[in-house]
A and B are shown apart, each in its own frame.
Chain A
């Protein structure tokens, strides 16, 4: 079995739960089987804690090249120019942006009108948290 090769940028993204879910699982398998992997991850994390900026982390954290939710809506409706739609597909599938994948999945669900389940869920979230609302000024 070959050892998977993850870049430092990918390990930082792993720490932030930002890699595609299959890649996250691959990193976890690697970390469980290779002590050197954990040491490398600790090093990447320590470097960040020491104040070293990472282009990848800043780009990712600020979602600088992510299409907006409105653009994802247009993408679903087939309303984007071909080249831009192609970039959106690339951003999802090859760059593997988790937040955009989640936004698109949510929009697709809304289009599928799973509204009863969503309404029940939202009511449950509200009831379990409303007691923690600030008392207001």
Chain B
């Protein structure tokens, strides 16, 4: 049985209050959650407390959990929140100031773009746009994998996930800046053509439509 399907069945049994299912879910996920939290805390007891809070948080949020969403990602996102809370309490993680970059108190796009108020979108619209981008990215990443183009995938991770410059990526991977630039440009061009069908406003995809 695929993992996603097996997780869905497990969550259904937990929703029904089955203790064995809950034990199984804990056994399946606590180890990786603990490793995630421990990497930041360097204190096993505190890390175990955060994992415990994560599991309790999962049960509390269960009525709102959409089981089409991958369970592992959902648990890791709860763990990240609980970890952030813990680090704030310890004073390690500074709180964000409640200020923005303009006098209206809202973020504004660069000149020529729309105001933030008009950018705030309905949740539905935002989800559609994100789904379009995920589908397009998945298609391209699968294509690279199927062709064993691992170097290109590595290059794109640094460029697009870490946001590094062409120069930094070229140095990290031992490639020429021109090769990195070509990889980026070809990938973004294909992505634009795939996403264009959804007709998103350019302001909500600034990386795809640089001004």
Q: Do A and B come from one complex?
A: yes
Q: Which of A56, A61, A126 is in CB contact (< 8 Å) with B26?
A: A126
On whether the beta carbons of B141 and A129 are closer than 8 Å, the reply is no
On whether the beta carbons of A134 and B153 are closer than 8 Å, the reply is no
Chain A binding site: helix, strand, loop or mixed by DSSP? Answer: helix
The CA of A27 and the CA of B160, in the complex, are separated in Å by 19
On whether the beta carbons of B161 and A60 are closer than 8 Å, the reply is yes
On whether the beta carbons of A83 and B150 are closer than 8 Å, the reply is yes
On whether the beta carbons of A122 and B100 are closer than 8 Å, the reply is no
Q: Which of A9, A39, A61, A90 is in CB contact (< 8 Å) with B163?
A: A9
The size class of the interface chain B forms with chain A is 35 or more
Q: Which residues of A contact B35 (CB under 8 A)?
A: 101-103, 105-106, 109
Q: Which residues of B contact A106 (CB under 8 A)?
A: 31-32, 34-35
The CA of A24 and the CA of B120, in the complex, are separated in Å by 29
The size class of the interface chain A forms with chain B is 35 or more
On whether the beta carbons of A43 and B22 are closer than 8 Å, the reply is no
Q: Which of B17, B23, B109, B116 is in CB contact (< 8 Å) with A135?
A: B17
Say yes or no: A38-B161 contact (C-beta < 8 A), given A58-B137, A87-B154, A134-B17: no
On whether the beta carbons of A43 and B51 are closer than 8 Å, the reply is no
On whether the beta carbons of A132 and B59 are closer than 8 Å, the reply is yes
- Of the candidates B60, B80, B157, the one having the most CB atoms from chain A within 10 angstroms of its own CB is B157
On whether the beta carbons of B76 and A99 are closer than 8 Å, the reply is yes
Interface hits, B10-29 → A, CB 8 Å? 14-19, 22-23, 26-27
The CA of A103 and the CA of B33, in the complex, are separated in Å by 8
On whether the beta carbons of B154 and A46 are closer than 8 Å, the reply is no
On whether the beta carbons of A109 and B160 are closer than 8 Å, the reply is no
- Of the candidates A39, A86, A125, A135, the one having the most CB atoms from chain B within 10 angstroms of its own CB is A125
Q: Indicate whether A136 reaches chain B with its CB closer than 8 angstroms.
A: yes
Q: Indicate whether B181 reaches chain A with its CB closer than 8 angstroms.
A: no
B79-99 vs A, Cβ < 8 Å mask (1 yes, 0 no): 110011000000011101111
User: Closest 10 CB pairs between A and B?
Assistant: A9-B163, A136-B17, A7-B163, A102-B36, A17-B80, A46-B107, A105-B35, A106-B31, A87-B150, A102-B35
A-B contact pairs, 10 of them (CB 8 A): A9-B162, A10-B162, A28-B94, A43-B101, A49-B107, A58-B133, A81-B148, A125-B52, A133-B19, A134-B15
